[in-house]
Amino acid sequence: MTRLSVAGLSVAAALLSPLAHPASGATTLVGHIASKTGPQNARAWAVQLMNTGPNTASSAQFGGFTLTQTSGAACTPLVTPPSSFPVVLGDIAPNTAVSANFTIDFTGCPANASFILTIPISADSGATTGTMVRYHQYR
C-alpha cells in the first residue's frame, strides 16, 4: 500500500476514524466528491462541503487531501490543491455547499489504480472536526 500525502498531514488517525463523516459538533458538515473531469494528467476532482446543520459553519476548511493507493501498479499522483493547506472555504450557511477543485496528475497510474481519499475537515475554530473518507477511488 502506497501512502501519498500533500501538506504533510498524518492520516493514520483519520483512517481509523469510525465515523467517516459528517464532522462532529453543533455544525454538521458533509463532504462530497461532486465530479471528476479532465485528462489523466490533469484530472479535476471537485470536492464539496455541505452544511446540513442549523447553524452557519464559520471558517470551514479542508486540512489536507491524501490519496492512499490500494490496488494497481504503484504510482505517484501529484495533487495540486486550489491553495496551500488548509484550503479555507469560508463561512457556509445552513443548507448550502462550497466546492474546491483539486487537480491531480495521474501520469503513470494504470486505469485500475485504486485509492483511499482522506480529507480532514474543520470549522468553527476547530470546534467542529471530522474526516471525509472514500474508498475505491479511481482517478
Partner 1 sequence: MRSASVSLSLALMVALLAVGTAGAAPTLQLAPTNGALTGSPGATIGWGFTITNSTNYLVVTSASFTPSSALGASTDFIAQYEFVVVGPSPESTSVSQSFNNALQTGTASFAISAGAHPGDSASGTITVTYDLYSVSPNDPDFDPDTDTLSTDNALTAAASISVPAPPTIAKAFGASVTPLDSPTSLTFTLTNPNALLALTGVGVTDALPAGLVVATPNGLTGSCGGSVTAVAGSSTISLSGGTIAAGGQCEFSADVTATSTGTKSNTTGNVESVEGGTGLTASASLDVAPPVQTLGALGIAALAAVVAIAAAAALRRVQP
Q: Kindly compute the dihedral angle of the four CA atoms of residues 23, 25, 26, 27, in this order, to the nearest 10 degrees.
A: -30
Binding-site member from 54, 76, 80, 135 for partner 1 (CB under 8 A): 135
Binding-site member from 14, 21, 50, 77 for partner 1 (CB under 8 A): 21
For partner 1, which stretch binds (CB under 8 A), given 14-22, 74-82, 85-93, 94-102? 14-22
| Chain residues 35-94 in contact with partner 1, contact rule CB under 8 A | 35-36, 39-40, 43
Residues in the chain: 139
Nearer to partner 1, 3 or 134 (CB): 134
Nearer to partner 1, 1 or 8 (CB): 1
Q: What DSSP state is assigned to residue 42?
A: G
**HSE value, Cβ hemisphere, 13 Å, CA-based, for 87:** 21
Torsions phi, psi for 15 (to 5 deg): -70, -25
* Residue 15 identity (one-letter amino acid): L
Binding-site member from 4, 7, 20, 75 for partner 1 (CB under 8 A): 20
Separation between Cα atoms, residue 73 and residue 83, nearest integer Å = 29
Which residues of this protein are in contact with partner 1, per CB under 8 A?
18-22, 32-36, 39-40, 43, 111-112, 114, 133-139
